[in-house]
Amino acid sequence: MTPHRLAVGLLASVTLLVTAVIGADAASAVPTVVSATTADDATGTYYPLASTRLLDTRTTNGGHNSPLGAGTANTFDLAVGGRGGVPAADVSAVVLNVTGIGPTRATHLRIYPAGQTLPTASTLNLPLGGTRANLVTVPLGTGGKVSVYNDAGLVNVAVDVLGYYAASDAIRPTKGMGHQFYLVDPTRIFDSRTDGGALFPGEEVVLGADFDEVTNPTVRALAMNITVVTPTAPGYVVAWNGALPVPTASNLNFVKGQVVPNMAIVPTQPDPNDGVPLFTFKNASKGTTHVLIDIVGVYEAGQPTGLRYRPLPPTRILDTRNATGTVKSPLGAAETRSFTAPGSVAGDATWALVANTVAVAPTAATFLTVWEDDAAVPRPAASNLNASPGEVVANATITPMGAGNKYKIYNNKGLTNTVMDVTGSFEEFTPAAIAGAQKSLGADAAGTTVTVAHGPSAKVARGR
């Protein structure tokens, strides 16, 4: 496998276990940059957790047992450090799944470090009466807390923690070494519309992500986009490593007839027979629903090189409504537009941005796809978010950087304005970099590119 990027190809045919084979024969230059850490330093590495609910305003869990009111006066500071497996110290950021439930007015939520100024960037947009979730990576603030702000009306809020990133190597004596991140060409490894039909109520599906015999033992978690298509009843999807008990927390909530995406970071466990990393997802509703799974990254243990997370202040780098980062013009139907990430969020060491991407009031039902601006990399078949006419829909994205820190966004239908808010980045980390040797980088401003091989098309079979 290449040090920082895996090319993905899929091949699976089983009855009850759906196995996706992810090829790892990509050819790539080996980029390096100067780093302040050492090869065995845990700074910026990821620690996955069993999904745990930290707040539910419909109950007493989390310390706020009523709907959240509007405005700064009603902002709630949620204790995160020291709960749900998150250490009380040495944490740079936590990965949270935030769900807004039944707002009395159309609104949005903002999640940010406690004690800091309210950011302008939103985390989650909600229509009147709707239920939606979004993944957010946010630093801990004063007292190990994050602030939850609601913009209008009353809304119930649920917050689940999925994992955290290390702030320093001081965490290693008690928590061990964390895991480094690797980009994967976005690839759809499961689509129930072609893989056996809609999931029935309560159905669980086990998926395997088979890289190769060398890589499989190192995989600890997968970054993925989960999309629900035309459910026949309201409910939610939960994804986890398959161990019992099934988490009570959700990854994605939906109502009848929606097309809803949400990003998740899901821990894995090895197949006892062949060591392939496995995870499970469940349709927790009383109706049927189609489910799509797109893999966008992998967290591995025990590797000498990889990408580390760097927290950043929330920064809006794109808004087509006012020419931020682009011209003042919505994306047109079937339009692909290139953008350049500013130096405030991306440098020579940056391979990807952790962002919230928003479709604003599209004129037709559409989807957006985000990927690196590289002539050698075609538009992925996977989508990042889906939106209906007039909606404001946000979804977390891991946005790869092409040469000169450029990226592309594709809009499928109609006109839609687009916003991107950055909260962090994945930065290069290699022993050579630690020694001070700075070489070519996939996102190098000088224009150096990394060649990435692309695997075969997916073949997945699913039994009942």
How far CA 287 is from CA of 230, 254, 388, in Å, comes to 10, 11, 22
Paired with 124 in beta bridges are 109
Burial zone of 38 (CB within 10 Å; 0-12 exposed, 13-18 middle, 19+ buried): exposed
Map tokens 């109950």 to a residue.
Answer: 59
Whether 298 contacts 352, CB under 8 Å: no
Q: What is the pLDDT of residue 444?
A: 34
Indicate the pairing of strand 131-138 with strand 91-101: antiparallel
Q: Which amino acid would we find at residue 56?
A: D
3-state secondary structure the chain: CCCCEECCCCCCCCCCEEEEECCCCCCCCCCCCCCCCCCCCCCCCEEEEEEEEEEECCCCCCCCCCCECCCHHHCEEEECCCCCCCCCCCEEEEEEEEEEECCCCCEEEEEEECCCCCCCCCCEEECCCCEEEEEEEECCCHHHEEEEEECCCCEEEEEEEEEEEECCHHHHHHHCCCEEEEEEEEEEEEECCCCCCCECCCCEEEEEEECCCCCHHHEEEEEEEEEEECCCCCEEEEEECCCCCCCCCCCEEECCCCEEEEEEEEECEECCCCCCEEEEEEEEECCCEEEEEEEEEEEECCCCCEEEEEEEEEEEEEECCCCECCCCCCECCCEEEEEECCCCCCCCCEEEEEEEEEEECCCCCEEEEEEECCCCCCCCCCCCEEECCCCEEEEEEEEECCCCCEEEEEECCCCEEEEEEEEEEEEEECHHHHCCCCCCCCCCCCCCCCCCCCCCCCCCCCCC
Residue type present at position 17: L
pLDDT at residue 216, as a whole number: 87
Q: Quickly tell me which residue has 């009031």 as its tokens.
A: 361
**43/306 Cα distance (integer angstroms):** 12
**Lookup: tokens for 397:** 């994205």
Supply the pLDDT for residue 215. Answer: 83
Return the CA Rg of the chain: 21
Burial of 294 (0-12, 13-18, 19+ CB in 10 A): buried
pLDDT at 56: 98
CA distances from 265 to 53, 198, 262 (A): 15, 23, 10
Q: How far apart are CA 98 and CA 134, in angstroms?
A: 5
Which residue, 2, 7, 52, 68, is CA-closest to 31? Answer: 2
Paired with 19 in beta bridges are 208
pLDDT of residue 5: 53
Contacts of residue 28, Cβ cutoff 8 Å, sequence gap at least 6: 2, 3, 4, 5, 442, 450, 451, 452
Side chain identity at 464, as an amino acid letter?
Answer: R
> Which residue, among 352, 347, 464, 334, has the nearest Cα to 407 in the 3D structure?
352
pLDDT by 10-residue block (mean), the chain, 464 residues:
44 39 36 47 96 96 97 98 97 98 97 95 94 96 97 98 97 96 89 93 92 88 96 97 92 93 96 90 97 94 91 94 95 98 95 97 97 93 93 95 96 98 90 39 32 26 37
Quote the pTM value. 0.88
All domains of the chain in start order, with CATH: 46-172 (2.60.120), 307-434 (2.60.120.340)
pLDDT at 38: 57
In the prediction, which pLDDT does 304 show? 84
Tell me which amino acid residue 217 is: P
